[in-house]
Structure 1
Amino acid sequence: MFKKLLLGMAALIATMGFAFAEVDVNKADQAALDGIKGIGPKTSKAIIDERKKGGDFKDWPDLEKRVKGIGEKSAAKLSANGLTVNGQSLKTPAGESTPAKADAKETKKDSKKGESKK
């Protein structure tokens, strides 16, 4: 009985490692993409179709630009769940804006400056 319990615990620990395995968006098939939390059949098909049409994704912004439904927030979640682009997870240092966020902040500041001058 103890051996069965020990064997079961070892199997559980071994499978936990697979749950956090990284999946590269440029190499994965549809089943592997579906295994990432946050990617369903529709998104995995869109990723594969876009990869066939436009070639491998260069980086995270390229993935976000080419695949409808994947934006900054979902990209961060997918990366945290094990998705990579060319072996790289999405890295945004704490407190640092992504280029799109920085542009939006500048636009907002500029529009406020224009309003106060009127």
Structure 2
Amino acid sequence: MRRRSLLTGFMCILAGHTRAQVKLLEANEASRAELESLPGLGPGLVEKLLNARALALFSDWADLLHRVRGIGPAKASKLSALGLRVNGTAYPE
């Protein structure tokens, strides 16, 4: 039983450590290289995001999803978990 609680404690510490390492990245300010560093954002999708952002900054996640073809709710949720923010806000679950 003690072994199990030690393992549980270790997993909690590890999970907390992993969350602490998430670097927040603002969609309205991030560079091409910063955006491409996120898993799931390749050069093509980053290009679409930058082109849409050049016309006007994103007001919120709904605006980003509407204007950037290829980013839907599932991808937005994943990117948000990786640290992407729109106006400082995480994707609403």
Q: Report the TM-score when normalising by structure 2.
A: 0.75
**Deviation above 6 Å: which 4+ runs of structure 1?**
none
C-alpha RMSD over aligned residues: 1.5
Tell me the CA shift for residue 38 of structure 1. 1.0
Tell me the CA shift for residue 91 of structure 1. 2.2
- Tell me, in whole angstroms, the C-alpha distance in 1 between the residues paired with 2:49 and 2:33: 12
- Tell me, in whole angstroms, the C-alpha distance in 2 between the residues paired with 1:28 and 1:45: 12
Task: Establish whether residue 26 from structure 1 lines up as the match of residue 28 from structure 2.
Answer: yes
**Structure 1 residues without counterparts, runs of 5 or longer:** 1-12, 93-118
Matched-pair identity in %: 37
| Counterpart amino acid of residue 68 in structure 1 | R
In proportion to residue count, which structure has more helix? 1
Which structure: larger Rg? 1
Using CA pairs below 8 Å that are at least 6 residues apart, which structure has the higher relative contact order?
Answer: 2
**Structure 2 residues without counterparts, runs of 5 or longer:** 1-16
**In structure 2, what is the equivalent of residue 39 of structure 1?**
41
Deviations 1:46-71 (Å, cap 9, x if unpaired)? 11111112x10000010000000001
